[in-house]
Structure 1
């Protein structure tokens, strides 16, 4: 393929909507043209202007320049060129009001921008090793900046008011939201997800998106709910992603489980050993065992032993909240040993002091019991006058089910 042939393929698709998809001709991941030296050596802007529609000529020329920069290992300027191309496409969308054939192009250009921003940040980090924000180097600088042109493109497609989704550019909204989610989670700016979630909810077009798009969207939405301590919605979203993730995508299913398992455990649902072995998630095994046994020391040790793994995925503090279930299981054992539905709170205090090897006040025990009762993990009430926990005679400790 030479330069003129490449431009012919581009114009053929733009003008007649046939031949090689434009989305393939505008991604650096297509090796047929993106690494083709003949195209880069023969590039002529006037030729592009004369043979390609004005809406696309600058984008095409910018894309070829981006590929040239990548071929020469300049990821920073390649990212900047790609950002310019995305910006030009956003402006061009306003003039293409009755068309949506370019939706695949929107999707690949948005994805490429995010990936190039990551590569640019890595290169920038190598160039400025040891320098901080007070100096020249800002971690994730280009990735944060990439959100701006992507948001401009999102607004451009969201403003397409045609009710027929098959003809609307709004069909690209989910893909753009997923790209922005990936950026916001990586730069730890989850609060910026809210306007995107609201926009999708208000658009009421969820049924038009593919299953793959929904799996990605609900994965990130589930994580956001988890970090917001909304575990029921987190469970709903992450469970959808896990159930609908392609069976061959073992890596992705494992990634979903890394967040789904802590959420399930906080809701009282324990993972099975079989599940943990199947997806190589054994760091959760000692945590699960300690929670089941109500062994607070073992739980602390398990969290500490695998702290690197848990911190890597941001779930250490989530798992630390499992102590409330461990308390529930400890208290259940105390009740079974004493064989009474009126259990002295002092008995719980003695057990906790033994397990934690420290002084525990009656007030702290009352607080723990109150939380357990409020969350439905114990059926009963606290008699402060008699300093006793009065538990239901029928099923006072609702069983913890298993995640299979």
Structure 2
């Protein structure tokens, strides 16, 4: 099967390049476009053929692209990574030379996205070549940063031709790399650059959704749950309803944030997006049932770890402690709660704790504002406020 002969393919690129049609060129240098599926584009040494049809500098881009397709066809992602890196670096020089225009931004988006994807595949083949996990992705990020600096450095304020319109797409690609190699601290300057950009609200909705999804996740890991709620809620509410997979992905991070802020998620929503793992957890937290909480954490451990949220979800236990202690307070009907009573409740629910550990749990709850009161060590009692001793979680 053939897509079109290579000569026609090169002629289309030539016409598109000369007419500054970045959208068309971007399709024909993409490893995800239809032409990439056909064998007649798998050319090991395409230099002579390409140079017959294409002038510099676009000839270099297409040579690297065809070499990359050939390497992928041989399932050699290590070589494909080298060729795609060469393509991105060659394009970076072209982008820098285009002083008063931004028509090539679609090409930048495609070649950078492809580099990230190929780097991920190369990581799987790195054994015996590189023993440093994430090395290919980290180097790919360096190449992406080269394009980002050029876009961010465009000082023109004309929205139509500024390269700064390409910043968010690159930031989103860099986020995907940094989250994969667990270097979230590198996201901070990128977020600062976008937040201070005068074009912040002009980026496409899909790019803004992706951006807020990652910023929300970073805020969650930074324990800034209100910011996480704001960004993740925006991403979930604006994500298209047909994108079930993406909405589910957002919800996996939004749900624990909501619970930490004192909101109970709707069971129907959890069911719709197939994240019912959270429902029993919500019930255990609300009831202060620590034994049930521990059982659920063990049952769904692999799911929480695979999603990278185990430690965040485990923080919900402090709310379960708070709800259990509130029950003890209501049963005893006193503002001076013996620490022994709290310890007994914890032990009844399978927690192996002594008095000192029980006091530590109470101290943490007081420190986080989940209980209003203090510990009287002399009398071994928790003295809680007579007014609103267990404030609503939404206000803490």
What is the TM-score with the length of structure 2 in the denominator?
0.90
Query: Where does residue 119 of structure 1 map in the other structure?
Result: 121
Q: Which runs of 4+ in 1 moved over 6 A?
A: none
Q: Distance in 2 between matches of 1:217 and 1:346?
A: 49
Q: Distance in 2 between matches of 1:273 and 1:95?
A: 55
Report what 1:253 is aligned to: 247
SS at match of 1:358: coil
For 2:30, the equivalent position in structure 1 comes to 27
Partner of 2:390: 397
Aligned to 2:169: 175
Partner of residue 331 from structure 1, selected from 321, 325, 328: 325
What is the CA–CA distance in structure 2 between the aligned matches of 1:20 and 1:294, rounded to whole Å?
Answer: 56
Larger deviation, residues 116-125 vs 149-158: 116-125
Return the offset for 1:302. Answer: 1.1
2:363 paired residue number: 370
Distance 1:359 1:200, change over 3 A: closer
8 Å contact from structure 1 (residues 3, 38) kept in 2: yes
Provide the residue aligned with 1:132 in structure 2: none
1:55-74 equivalences in 2 (<5 Å): 55-74=57-76
Could you tell which deviates more after superposition, 254-263 or 47-56?
Answer: 47-56
Name the CA distance, whole Å, in 1 between partners of 2:76 and 2:64.
15
1:54 to 26, 46, 56: 56
Q: Deviations over 1:10-57 (max 9, x none)?
A: 1211112359711111101112x3244445569863564464342322
Report the counterpart of residue 107 of structure 2 in structure 1. Answer: 105
The equivalent residue for 1:16 is 19
Instruction: Count matched residues.
Output: 391
Shift in CA distance, 374/205, structure 1 to aligned 2, threshold 3 Å: farther
Q: 2: CA distance between counterparts of 1:11 and 1:323?
A: 62
Structure 2 spans left out of the alignment, 5+ residues: none
- Note the C-alpha offset of 1:175: 0.8
2:337 aligned counterpart, secondary structure:
strand
CA contact 2:6–2:41 (8 Å) conserved in 1: yes
Alpha-carbon distance change, 344 to 114 in structure 1, aligned in 2, over 3 angstroms? same
User: Aligned to 1:203, what secondary structure does the other structure show?
Assistant: coil
Is 246-255 or 267-276 further displaced after alignment?
267-276
For residues 216-255 of structure 1, the aligned pairs below 5 Å read 216-255=210-249
1:3–1:40 contact (8 Å) kept in structure 2: no
Alpha-carbon spacing, 1:47–1:307, altered in 2? closer, same or farther (3 Å): closer
Deviation of the 1:101 alpha carbon:
0.5
**What does 1:265-304 align with in structure 2 at a 5 Å threshold?**
265-304=259-298
Give me the CA root mean square deviation.
2.5
- Show the counterpart of 1:198: 192
2:140 aligns to what SS in structure 1? Answer: helix
Maintained 8 Å contact 2:151/2:166 = yes
State yes or no: 1:151 paired with 2:154: no
Distance 1:26 1:329, change over 3 A: same
TM-score, normalized by length of structure 1? Answer: 0.88
Q: Cα offset for 1:318?
A: 1.3
Tell me what 2:342 maps to: 348
CA, structure 1 residues 345+38, in 2 after alignment: closer, same or farther (shift >3 Å)? closer
Structure 1 residues 19, 338: CA separation in 2 closer, same or farther (over 3 Å shift)? closer
Q: Kindly indicate whether the alpha-carbon contact (under 8 Å) linking 2:21 and 2:103 is maintained by their aligned counterparts in 1.
A: no
Q: Matched residue of 1:271: which SS?
A: coil
